[in-house]
């Protein structure tokens, strides 16, 4: 099923609470709510994960695998623009967040303009490396 969100949702305020980090929203990658939850936890726990080792990641991955829906939901991917700034401890105003959203949205058009072709090229390049 083809699901390609076309409009990058510009975050309105910083204090929204969903857990999806902003970069994910910019990629227009369809994700379920459960996947968003897992990704958000991964990002927010990153410093702990570094000391916790690989087991933590595997544990999270196994949880994600159990809840993957047959049809991913695409909603709410961009509603949590401020989360990544919170994770990094970088203060940002609502106006700046809006600006960041505009910049990311504008650049996303460039990165999405040749998705399939570039993806294929990357795959081909990887295949060549494997063959070599």
Closer residue to other proteins (CB): 6 or 70: 6
Closer residue to other proteins (CB): 40 or 101: 101
Cβ contacts of 105-112, under 8 Å, gap ≥ 24: 105/8, 105/10, 105/26, 107/26, 108/8, 108/26, 108/27, 108/28, 112/28
Interface residues with other proteins (CB under 8 A)?
22-24, 26-27, 81, 84-85, 88-92, 96, 99-101, 103-104, 107, 110-111, 113-114, 118, 122
Closer residue to other proteins (CB): 50 or 62: 50
């Amino acid at each position: 099923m083809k699901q390609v969100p076309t409009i990058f949702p510009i975050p309105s305020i910083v204090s929204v609470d969903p857990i999806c980090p902003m970069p994910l929203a910019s990629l227009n990658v369809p994700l379920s709510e459960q996947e968003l939850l897992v990704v958000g936890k991964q990002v927010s726990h990153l410093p702990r994960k570094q000391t916790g080792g690989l087991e933590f990641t595997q544990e999270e991955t196994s949880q994600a695998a159990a809840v993957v829906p047959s049809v991913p939901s695409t909603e709410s991917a961009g509603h949590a623009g401020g989360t990544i700034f919170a994770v990094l401890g970088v203060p940002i105003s609502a106006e700046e967040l809006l600006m960041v959203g505009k910049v990311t949205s504008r650049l996303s058009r460039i990165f999405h303009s040749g998705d399939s072709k570039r993806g294929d090229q990357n795959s081909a390049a990887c295949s060549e490396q494997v063959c070599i």
